Amino acid sequence: MASRLYGGQIQSFLVLVGLLLLVTNAQNPNNSPIHKRFEYKYSFKPPYLAQKDGTVPFFEYSGNAIASEESVRITPSLRSQKGMIWSRLMTSFDWWEVEINFRVTGRGRIGADGLAFWYTANKGFEGPVFGSSDRWNGLGVFFDSFDNDNKHNNPYVMAMVNDGQKNYDHQKDGSTQQLAGCLRDFRNKPFPVKAKIEFFKNTLTLLFHNGMSNNDKDFEVCLRAENVVLPKNGYFGISAATGGLADDHDVLKFNVFSLRSPEEAVKEVHDPDAEKFDQEFNQYQDKLKQQKEQWAKENPEEAAKKAAELEDWENWFSEQDKELQQIFQGQAAMREVLTELHRKMDEIIGRQERTLSLISSGGVAKPSGGGTGQQAQIAVDTIRRDEVNAVLANQREIVGASRDIKNLVSDIHGKTGQLLNRGTGTAQQVGGAGGAYDSQQMIREIRQMVDNAKREIIQTAQQIGQSPCPQTGGCVTTTTLVALLVVQLIILISYMMYRDGKEKAAKKYY
């Protein structure tokens, strides 16, 4: 009973979400099912991205680009480097979607200059716009990591359409020329940064994955522009450049998909080889089925046994397990629907922000006539209020951490001064104690020497008194002997004092 109620709640929720999706689709009439087909001749991805001779199939690279089995390093982390890679074939389809997985890594807090994605009527050559040529005819999506205009709005992602007549404004980072853009950080992320660039029915959409997780569904809308006119056929390319600062610009994956509406997919001409293969496959399936039936007739006991095992396997799940499985399937469906609803709400919010910015700035979007015009709109930054609050909170945390570090350094400096003062006083005390100890030791040695001299004098006097003087010569008197001993003692004491003075002078010098 509980499972039925739960199933009814799931169905009610799905119906409600379906109604919301219908409302969203009514606001977005172009949101029709799109047929995607992988175009391997315009793509590269690991493993074995580059061949043994260093070439990348269906692509050509130049400048400082380096191709390996896992990625293409457009520019290494050296100053004043430029590199690029371009597809050799021109596109044969009108609408497309490109998935790019890349990494921008560097040691510094600020990187330069950035990475660029190109879709142009002609291949670019080495030039000043992120390593490629200026005055291109087509689309350029720039992942700019250096703040040339000093407005503290980098790293920045922007799209720019050029008709081959305009020069890219480096001083203002192309802010007056951009189609649309968003403020996103793509440097030094734990996982590869991903970007999906979709061009379908003159609508350009860029979805951005910030590389903070490994979930392939964590994309958010960065920009969306309508009435965008691009060359019908063109070349895909990626370029990068470094300046006074340097980053490694690595492209890990570059996948291109051709997009078709259901009507266009039905009108496609069928490949005769594909029809031949389908016919052969159907014949093989029929032949296999006949062989199974013939084997079952020839081996009825084993066939019955296999059928019983299959039935047991189908009945292996209990009723509760089946109900749980249904519940989990319902939850998974709800999650997918909510994810899709969240993405559509982001698109609607982006449209509202662009409309409000156009109204506030006085700009008017002029639709193109006959599909040949281009949307005239003022560059809009789609940063939201919650992102601004997050940036301000991070700045406050950084200021608080800097203040704590400053106080800690001041405490360490004060304690170091106290330790130095204590060490100087202790050294002076130790030096004074050492001097007093040396003086006492010297006096003690002098006393011992005097006592020894007295003993020797007494012993000598006793020996002199006991032995008579020789008759041939005169004896030395006691007074003379004592005087000589005193003189010798004075000389010895003077020498010891002189030696101690020399040692003290040497200690003071060192």
Tell how strand 137-144 and strand 156-163 pair up: antiparallel
Question: Distance (Å, rounded) from C-alpha 461 to C-alpha 483?
Answer: 13
> Which whole number is the average pLDDT over 300-304?
85
Residue pLDDT, tens place only, 230-262: 999 999 999 999 988 889 999 999 999 999 887
pLDDT above 80: residue 3: no
How many contiguous H segments (helices) and E segments (strands) does the chain have?
A: 7, 17
Sketch the domain layout of the chain as residue ranges. Answer: 1-31+328-383, 35-268, 272-316, 400-468+477-509
Percent of the chain exceeding pLDDT 70 equals 68
Polymer length of the chain: 510
Amino acid 242: pLDDT: 93
Give the mean model confidence (pLDDT) for residues 275-281.
81
- Using the predicted structure, report yes or no on whether residue 1 has a pLDDT greater than 60: no
- Rounded CA separation 350/75 (Å): 33
Average the pLDDT over each of 92-106, 169-183, 302-316 and give the range with the smallest value. 302-316
Segment 446-469 shows an average pLDDT of 65
pLDDT on residue 12: 53
Model confidence at 78: pLDDT above 80: yes
Average pLDDT over residues 475-502: 75
Question: Please, which pLDDT band fits residue 325 given cuts at 50, 70 and 90?
Answer: confident
The answer for residues whose C-beta is within 8 angstroms of residue 485's C-beta and 6 or more apart is 453, 456, 457
Residue 485 has pLDDT above 70, yes or no: yes
Q: Please, what is the average pLDDT of the chain?
A: 78
Name the most confidently modeled range: 136-145, 164-173, 315-324. Answer: 136-145
**Spatial contact of 333 and 14, defined as CB atoms under 8 Å apart:** yes
pLDDT for position 26: 40
pLDDT digits (tens, 9 = 90+) for 93-138: 999 999 999 999 988 888 878 999 999 999 999 999 999 999 999 9
| pLDDT value of position 199 | 95
Task: Check pLDDT > 90 for residue 374.
Answer: no
Residues 123, 61: Cα–Cα separation, whole Å:
11
Q: Candidates 3.30.1390.20, 2.60.40.10, 2.40.10.120, 2.60.120.200; correct CATH number of 35-268? A: 2.60.120.200
* pLDDT at 435 > cutoff 60: no
Position 121 scores a pLDDT of: 95
3-state secondary structure of 345: helix
Identity at 391, one-letter amino acid code: V
- The pLDDT tens digits of the residues spanning 387-404 come to 667 777 777 777 776 677
Cα distances (angstroms) measured from residue 502 to each of 209, 428, 499, 508, 509: 80, 20, 5, 10, 11
